């Protein structure tokens, strides 16, 4: 089936006045409640009880592995990472991760199929090919991986200097999707952020990925980096469109050096002005839609025949800590430092530093220290936000049946706060529910914020801007 057999049923138009009116700071909603609400010293008993409920429900599993190592530092990066050229530092960490795999496997019903698997970082391809094989073999030993290539098994790669033969190894051990951090092809921009990957390197990897039979290739771009201009971003975008990845993400660079020390290496005088950033985004959205990509939402685009776009059309799209997902009915089990699991009605996060993480495992304990048990209200609002952010509409009756509430009474305050967006025709309200207009999709985070009970917390959190 080709992309020509599908039509892009939505076209997002740019409305400068609306963008400026509603472009405030807010969460990205990879979870609700968001990570700042997690509490320290989260009880092990809560985790054990959630795992038991999870086993009884027998939902499929999604596995995430955080490999934090990088050869060099990208100045813009806000990930939990360890920058070192000494590849031997990964060995004890991988040993600890295998201990965690075995520990969790003893708690979970491992006959449950793994529908989704993802390696993130850091740079997961930092580890050697033999170490990649070893980690996947340990996973396969303890969990029920799918052998028919039907699962969504993905890995993040940095294309700069990556040997194309590594893609053959990744395909061999079971990966069928790639996420490639391109960011920008402009040499001056790359030098300013210390992130280097040429168009030719990316082209070779793209061709090799197709030859190896990967199901999907996703590329990440960032706008708002130092020395970027509308012209340079447009040039990079044209090169990416020529490479034709199945998915594409376009992220806004948030300059937060008080949170991420590496960003202090960036010359703030070289950053584009907010108005120019908006022009970059406006052009990119229009150009990608012209090229046939569907605007999935929240900076994500996909070809119409990609599983992400298909899942959205069929009402099956979900959102989790890795972003949009086609397998949303899974319990998410995460391994490695800082990784976050979503098991039944809890979130639980591992230690963020390797010494604490490894020490817990050496003592035979799970390496988790933060978490949150979702209340009934949390789960209700989570469902509302997930429906809006994935499908841009909300069926009041469906929520009322699932959660035994009167929607308009329960959310009277939230609905009232949306009146300005209704007046601006970014949102439509009927007796049946809410529907986001095509133009309102750019402001979906603002719409979801109306249903967030934590934004008025006495300890406010600093978020990036919506656009």
Q: Domain 376-467: give its CATH code.
A: 1.10.10.920
How confident is the model at residue 26, as a pLDDT? Answer: 78
Say yes or no to pLDDT of 23 above 80: no
All residues at 6 or more sequence positions from 232 whose CB lies less than 8 Å from its CB, including other chains: 184, 186, 189
Parts of the chain belonging to CATH 3.80.30.20: 39-332
Q: Is 244 exposed, middle or buried (0-12, 13-18, 19+ CB in 10 A)?
A: middle
How confident is the model at residue 460, as a pLDDT? Answer: 62
Say yes or no to pLDDT of 8 above 60: no
pLDDT digits (tens, 9 = 90+) for 316-375: 898 888 788 887 789 999 999 999 999 999 999 999 999 999 999 999 999 999 999 999
Nearest to 433 by CA among 386, 389, 384, 390: 384
How confident is the model at residue 6, as a pLDDT? Answer: 38
pLDDT digits (tens, 9 = 90+) for 68-94: 999 999 999 988 899 999 999 999 999
Say yes or no to pLDDT of 4 above 60: no
Percentage of the chain lying above the pLDDT 70 cut: 94
Mean pLDDT of 167-189: 97
Say yes or no to pLDDT of 14 above 80: no
Mean pLDDT of 405-415: 97
Q: How far apart are CA 165 and CA 161, in angstroms?
A: 12
How confident is the model at residue 2, as a pLDDT? Answer: 39
Percentage of the chain lying above the pLDDT 90 cut: 82
Number of Cβ within 10 Å of residue 157's Cβ equals 24
Q: How far apart are CA 156 and CA 178, in angstroms?
A: 6
Q: Which of 90-99, 195-204, 316-325 has the lowest mean pLDDT?
A: 316-325
Q: Work out the pLDDT band at 461, boundaries 50, 70, 90.
A: low
Mean pLDDT of 47-61: 97
Distance spanning both ends of the chain, measured CA to CA: 34
Q: How far apart are CA 124 and CA 93, in angstroms?
A: 13
Q: Work out the pLDDT band at 436, boundaries 50, 70, 90.
A: very high
How confident is the model at residue 274, as a pLDDT? Answer: 86
Parts of the chain belonging to CATH 1.10.10.920: 376-467
Q: How far apart are CA 332 and CA 350, in angstroms?
A: 13
pLDDT digits (tens, 9 = 90+) for 135-150: 999 999 999 999 999 9
Of 1.10.10.10, 2.60.40.10, 3.80.30.20, 3.20.19.10, which CATH number belongs to 39-332?
A: 3.80.30.20
């Amino acid at each position: 089936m080709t992309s020509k057999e599908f039509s892009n049923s939505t076209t997002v138009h740019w409305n400068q006045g609306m963008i400026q009116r509603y472009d405030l700071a807010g969460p990205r909603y990879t979870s609700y409640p968001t990570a700042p609400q997690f509490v320290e010293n989260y009880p092990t008993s809560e985790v054990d009880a959630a795992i038991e409920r999870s086993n009884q429900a027998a939902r499929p599993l999604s596995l995430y592995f955080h490999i934090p190592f990088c050869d060099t530092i990208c100045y813009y990066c806000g990930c939990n990472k360890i920058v070192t050229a000494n590849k031997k530092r990964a060995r004890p960490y991988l040993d600890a991760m295998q201990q965690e795999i075995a520990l969790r496997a003893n708690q979970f019903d491992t006959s449950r199929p793994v529908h989704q698997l993802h390696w993130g970082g850091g740079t997961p391809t930092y580890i050697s090919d033999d170490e990649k094989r070893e980690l996947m073999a340990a996973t396969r030993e303890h969990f029920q991986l799918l052998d028919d290539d039907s699962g969504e098994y993905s890995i993040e790669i940095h294309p700069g200097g990556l040997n194309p033969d590594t893609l053959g190894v990744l395909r061999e051990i079971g990966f069928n999707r790639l996420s490639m951090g391109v960011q920008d092809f402009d040499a001056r921009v790359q030098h300013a952020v210390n992130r280097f990957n040429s168009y030719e390197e990316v082209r070779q990897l793209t061709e090799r990925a197709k030859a190896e039979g990967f199901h999907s290739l996703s590329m990440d771009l960032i706008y708002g980096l130092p020395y970027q201009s509308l012209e340079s971003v447009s040039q990079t975008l044209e090169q990416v469109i020529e490479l034709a990845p199945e998915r594409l993400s376009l992220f806004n660079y948030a300059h937060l050096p008080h949170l991420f020390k590496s960003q202090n290496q960036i010359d703030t005088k070289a950053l584009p002005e907010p108005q120019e950033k908006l022009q970059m985004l406006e052009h990119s959205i229009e150009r990608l839609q012209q090229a046939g990509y569907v605007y999935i939402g929240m900076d994500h685009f996909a070809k119409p025949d990609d599983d992400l776009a298909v899942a959205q059309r069929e009402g099956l799209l979900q959102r989790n800590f890795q972003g949009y997902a086609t397998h949303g009915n899974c319990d998410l089990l995460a391994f490695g430092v800082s990784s976050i699991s979503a098991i039944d009605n809890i979130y639980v996060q591992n230690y963020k530093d390797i010494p604490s993480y490894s020490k817990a495992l050496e003592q035979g304990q799970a390496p988790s220290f933060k978490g949150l048990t979702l209340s009934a209200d949390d789960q209700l609002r989570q469902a509302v936000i997930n429906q809006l952010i994935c499908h841009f509409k909300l069926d009041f009756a469906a929520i009322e049946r699932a959660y035994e509430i009167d929607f308009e009474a329960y959310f009277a305050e939230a609905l009232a706060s949306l009146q300005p967006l209704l007046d601006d025709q970014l949102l439509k309200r009927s007796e049946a529910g809410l529907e986001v207009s095509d133009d309102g999709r750019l402001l979906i985070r603002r719409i979801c914020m109306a249903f967030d009970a934590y934004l008025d917390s006495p300890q406010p959190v600093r978020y990036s801007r919506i656009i």
